[in-house]
Each structure stands twice: as structure tokens, then as C-alpha cells.
Amino acid sequence: MRSIISILLLAFIAWGIVTVIGEIPFGTEKSRVGGHYVDQGREETGASNIVTSVVLNYRGFDTLGEVTVLFVAAIGLGAALATRRKKEKREIEPASLVLYTGCRFLFPLILLFGGYIFIHGHLTPGGGFQGGAIVASAFILVYLGCRGRRISETVSKTIESLGGLVFVVVGLVGLAVGGHYFLLNFLPKGELNTLFSAGIIPILYIAIGFKVGSELAGVIDHLMEESE
């Protein structure tokens, strides 16, 4: 009964969508806003990756909110799992030597790759969130491979806070320098397609990369601890 009603409801929604989707032709011209970003983005922000210039400059405030969403989730996850009963520590079978050494060998390389991704966010595909996810994947590898290793909660909390604060402070400096504009790109734009270009974008992406990496690693840490 319930499934029939659900399907009828969905069919009704689908009919509504079909009527409107015909007016959004697929694969045609860019919107006015998108076209402006592609045409003017290089001059106005100095980043050769236009998506990055949209994410951090034109729509930087969204990204601040996005960073906050992740922060809320990490904090909330900690709060939800904080009041659990203390369980006795179970004996964990240690990993074999090959696995253990392999994971420890790969760990710094993955971190390096993640760092490369978020430092070059304004030049190549990628950025702080992607790089942060890669950094967090290095920690998963260590959790799975080298059992019993944990990241320090103090360090991850500090990095999270500092990452968020850097974003806000850079924005406020822009406000102070430019007079009226929060998140103003106040640093020199530099030469296109070089590492030191695009003003505040690399600074923000490095802060985001560290923050996202430590947050995702913290989330995984909490969930792993719970499932043991």
C-alpha cells in the first residue's frame, strides 16, 4: 500500500519535472553569469582555474559556509558519539609486517600528493576540498593497515580551528583594506599560470586543505573508534 502511494507521488513529481525540463535545453550556451566568469575570471581573480575563482572569489562566501558545514558535522559527530559507554579495549590482531611497512611507506607520499593538489588549486583541477580528502585517505590507510594508531585529537582540533580562522581573518583583512568588501582579493594577482598568483586564493585553499583533511580524518577516527 505504502509503496503504491509512494510511486504515485513520485509519478506526479516526475510529470511536473517533465513539463519544466523541456525549457532547459541540454548542452547549449552558458548562462550570463557563467559566461562572465569565463571571460573575465582571469583578469579579475588571477586564477587560471575558473572553477576555483568562482569557488573562492566570486562565491567565496558560500565556501566559507561550506567549510562551516563540515565543521558542524565534525563537531556534531563528536558530540553525538561523546556520551557513549566506555567499553573495555578489545585485543586487536596486529597487522603483518608487509602491510604495516607498506602503509607507513605510502603515508607520506599520499600526504605529499594531497598537499600538491591543494597548493595548485588555482592552476589545475583540484583544490582544498579534494586535497583535503586525499590527505584524509592517507589517515584511513594508516587506520586500516597499521592497527591501533590514532591521530592526536588536540592536533586535529587545533588545525580545524586555525583553518577556519585563517579564512575568516583573510576575509576581514580584505574588509579592512578595501573598505567595504569582505573577502576582497587584496593581494597582487601575479602572473597568470604561476604558483604565486591569484592573490588570496592559494592561502585560502591551503587553509581549507588542512582543515578538511583534519576534519575528515577526525570523522573517520570517531567512527572507527565506535565500530571497534
Instruction: Give the footprint of another protein on residues 50-89 (CB under 8 A).
Output: 50-51, 53-55, 57-66, 68-85
Contact present, 118 and 127 (Cβ < 8 Å): yes
The site for another protein, by CB under 8 A, has a size of 106
Q: How far is the CB of 119 from another protein (least distance, A)?
A: 16
Q: How far is the CB of 111 from another protein (least distance, A)?
A: 20
110-149 residues in contact with another protein (CB under 8 A) are 123-125, 127, 129
Distance CA(42)–CA(173), nearest Å, equals 23
Q: Does 1 bind another protein (CB under 8 A)?
A: no
- Single out the residue of 171, 202, 209, 213 in contact with another protein (rule: CB under 8 A): 171
What cell numbers appear for 219 in the block? 570523522
Q: Does 155 bind another protein (CB under 8 A)?
A: no
In single-letter form, the type of residue at position 10 comes to L
93-101, 103-111, 138-146, 156-164 -> range binding another protein (CB under 8 A):
156-164
Contact present, 151 and 111 (Cβ < 8 Å): no
Instruction: Please list, residue by residue across 62-82, b when 16 or more beta carbons sit within 10 angstroms of its beta carbon and e when fewer do.
Output: ebbeebeebbeebeebeeeee
